[in-house]
Amino acid sequence: MPVAASAHPAEDFSPRPRGRPRKTAEGRDDGNRRRELVAGAARLFRQNGFAATSTRDIAAAAGMRSGSPFYHFKSKGDLLYAVMEEGMRAAVDKQAAVLQALAAQAPDPRRDLAALIRHHFDVLLGPGSDFIPVMLYEARSLTEPQRASLALLQAQYEAAWAPVLAALHAAGQLRCDVKLARLLMLGALNWSVQWYKPGGAASPDDLADAALALFIQENVG
């Protein structure tokens, strides 16, 4: 006796590929557009200030329609936070990678501090550094929870310096209090965003060498 055909299409029980589903072209485009908005906003906030930059300006810089930023961000303030948060998170991750590479070598706190200083100049002056002056001068425009979140990231970034400075202090190459040394050192390095000119007489490598010589004594023992 023939079996009547089901009114419903047969279910597909073929195995599905494991892992995360691949992003569609539309999803990839959304990610790219978001990154372009953040990068464009960082440049404009740095050049013109947060208050003087409109979302229309940001959209135009990214080659998008004037309403496009609101597809990705609820407000200009949320975009400002994204500029700072994503820039700071990238700095934390890159610094961790620098220290992880050094951990495979013999202990050398002076070498480690030199690497931290050089990386910090990359954060301050290298590609993608627009978020730094934005953080320095526009943080007042953030909400209190946003400032608290950024403070945690900044603390995470700066905490990595403490063991290196403590080792130098123990070796007699750093004479002042470790916490005070960290604050003074990072404060001095951060000020370079005000006066450093790319292509000038001093390269970032020169700046890093000078900073290390200024703060740390050679171990002659």
Mean pLDDT of 173-200: 93
Residue 18 predicted with pLDDT over 70: no
Distance CA 57, CA 30 (A): 19
Cα distances (Å, whole numbers) of residue 139 to 41, 92, 95, 164, 214: 15, 18, 22, 29, 30
**Domain architecture of the chain: domains with CATH:** 80-215 (1.10.357.10)
pLDDT tens digits for range 79-136: 999 999 999 999 999 999 999 999 999 999 999 999 999 999 999 999 999 999 999 8
41/21: higher pLDDT: 41
- Is the Cβ–Cβ distance between 187 and 200 less than 8 Å? no
pLDDT the model gives residue 2: 38
What's the token pair of residue 71?
Answer: 């597809």
Residue 76 predicted with pLDDT over 80: yes
What does DSSP assign to residue 20?
S
- Is the Cβ–Cβ distance between 69 and 80 less than 8 Å? no
Longest dimension (CA), the chain: 99
pLDDT the model gives residue 29: 65
Residue with tokens 């050192």: 185
SS3 content of the chain, % helix, strand, coil (to 5): 65, 0, 35
Q: Categorize the per-residue pLDDT at 27 as very low, low, confident or very high, splitting at 50, 70 and 90.
A: very low
Residue 32 predicted with pLDDT over 70: yes
pTM confidence score: 0.80
Mean pLDDT of 9-27: 44
Residue 11 predicted with pLDDT over 80: no
Mean model confidence pLDDT for the chain: 86
Q: Categorize the per-residue pLDDT at 9 as very low, low, confident or very high, splitting at 50, 70 and 90.
A: very low
Residue 13 predicted with pLDDT over 60: no
